[in-house]
Amino acid sequence: MNNKESLDLAIYRLEQSKENLEEAEALYNINKFKGANNRAYYAIFHAIKAILAIEQVDFKKHSSVIAYFNKAYISTKIFPRELGKRISEARFYREKSDYIDFYIVTKEECKEQIETAKTMIKMAEEYIKQ
């Protein structure tokens, strides 16, 4: 893959991320917090994958994507450590929401994940523009 193709893929993934965020906000606005939480997590995940596209790195597992991002971008302080913590939290809440019966995500928890998604998208856009 050449640099133009990598950039095109990054932009595509970033658009996917923004669409996930729109879905999260729409679900949040109708009090569907479980679904909103899921879409906020995927907004974060696709923004991370957009960044990795620039580097031409990809993984099949979510855990591998996040672990690589933490090692290559959070540990090296390209992105703030606080963001790494917020990404881990978003993954935690998404997994609880999706896989644990009777888990109810709160409105506040959901709003935090949406805010993390907004931050991640903004930072990913700035990084990709460089």
**Reported confidence tier of residue 1, pLDDT bands at 50, 70, 90:** confident
pLDDT at 107: 95
Structural domain total, the chain: 1
Measured CA to CA, the distance from residue 96 to residue 43 in angstroms comes to 17
Domain with 81 in it: what CATH number? 1.20.120.330
**Residue 81 domain boundaries:** 3-129
Question: pLDDT tens for residues 11-51?
Answer: 999 999 999 999 999 999 999 999 999 999 999 999 999 99
Structure tokens at 128: 């990709």
Look up residue 119 and give its amino acid.
T
Give me the amino acid identity at 10. Answer: A
pTM: 0.95
Q: What sign does the CA torsion over 5, 57, 69, 40 have?
A: positive
Task: Specify the DSSP element, H or E, that contains 63.
Answer: helix 62-69
Residues 59-111: pLDDT tens digits? 999 999 999 999 999 999 999 999 999 999 999 999 998 899 899 889 999 99
The confidence band for 130, taking pLDDT boundaries of 50, 70 and 90, is: confident
Q: What is the C-alpha to C-alpha distance for residues 117 and 97, in angstroms, rounded to an integer?
A: 17
